[in-house]
Structure 1
């Protein structure tokens, strides 16, 4: 799904920038504070209407401005046909998403622009909360199972209703049974999809990890959010007293997790910083590989400061893998020479220098 043209207006220190990126590798370089990461944020904004650096939109929009806009032409189907896509968002909260002349919603946008982000926050896949890993899993399920988003929304509605009743301090048994039945129905379907996705992901992850790290032993195990050896209805009934005291449902898909371990120990506790970066990168790269195999479409990778915390050998291996895929990549660095020697002569690599919010293609 290459982005063929990109226009950015009023995002942080970028007043107005337009350029035509390479369909394959784009190196964006410049001094710290020049706007490299802001350009990645702009692509992220195009795909998800938000930043990956802040939850407060007012910090993304250029100071004293009221609205940010990113416009592009994309090859959504990968067939060479370019269609316009524009996303704007104002300080008043209004979001407008237009694709090929029609308004679309956020889920349609996310499907059109499958983004993968690799930056310092990616370490949260190992070190962060289970919610971060659930988002990782659900990205893959969303892009592989068309019915997932409807099921997820339905489950969220049922969970919110059940929690509202729990907060009241008591639930009529008949009413509880009705909501529990719906809860169980959606929980089992969501869990089945998540489990299936992780099983599909494992071979790609293991293959990529072997190339990047060698013989480092890493295992992935999906945790459903409850003891699957017992019926979920029994567990809900057994936990009812505790749930009433807490005011929320303590088991279910909202507690799912992905256990990442090295020789039986949590990878977050056992691995070095460099090893962690390679493991989380392998997870992200595996998602892109699986996505391509299932959909015959490519991802857009946003990679912030690739050379940091990787030595030259592992940086080369990482770049070699990117080169072998069909993904479009936007990669930031301070010194372009740190990456320039890693690409084959026939790889379409474009270099862009950014300085004070102004972008110039150099070679």
Structure 2
């Protein structure tokens, strides 16, 4: 009987377990995770800030789902070491677990820049459910919140913090919001929608220090490079994530910024696979839920004796926050595009934005804000020859 051990209960880890069970009904399948909660839909974790009851609603599967599939889910179990020669992992309590096949799906963690004052009380990060519940508990005490970072999670965080009636500021280093996902016109429409939610964006903002209040221990303000001082009794840092690769230190495994895998999700060490945020494929990493799920499925299938491959096909970007929707994909400008043309529609009353980019008659990109009903049609058109 093949013994498959999975490190991490992210969507990649859960998908790997499900695929392994489908491939091999008799395999021993175990998941070990430092998380204390049942696996959950991480992309919506910001909703817990507005409604703590969402913590349970975001659960991917009940415990019975794992039991029915004979998947041994071990929560609050941190893996501290991997021994590929003896095919063992070591847990924080000192116990050792044997494996035949190992799948790395330990995900990523919040990146905290070396900002002076980052260790003050009231400075928090949001990536795990425990962190979301901790922040929600503190919001009742807050009057001014600053979110550092204007990516998807930062925007979702700001939106849900503002629902508490807290004066909320979001600091973005770029000169516009969603600069990677939208063109200037789309960003402008989206920013107007953000302002309607009582969230105040500070663009081209560079934080140089988080200052303490009179106590000297708790956050009191956020200082910007241009001299602006923003009052804050809560600061949430949302400046991206980094892969959890510390566990692999000292192993003879190929790592770029992430663990390097081939299209079978195999690492450079035999019988060790990887999937999700912890790995890269062809030098690429996207950090997208659907990609992590697909990679987990391939890793689990192959670990259980199957033969599956995955080619990265980044899906269009979609977001539902700030009481609006965003969808985009492909090329949004005419640089180096033959016969470039575009169609743009702006509805200022409803804050809807529609842009389709073409090369001749071929759809090569789109950006939608507000009304995104054409998202699937445009996505399909981009894939057509």
Task: Give TM-score scaled by structure 1 length.
Answer: 0.25
Task: Give TM-score scaled by structure 2 length.
Answer: 0.24
Higher relative contact order (CA 8 A, sep 6+): 1
Per residue, is there more strand in 1 or in 2?
A: 2
Per residue, is there more helix in 1 or in 2?
A: 1
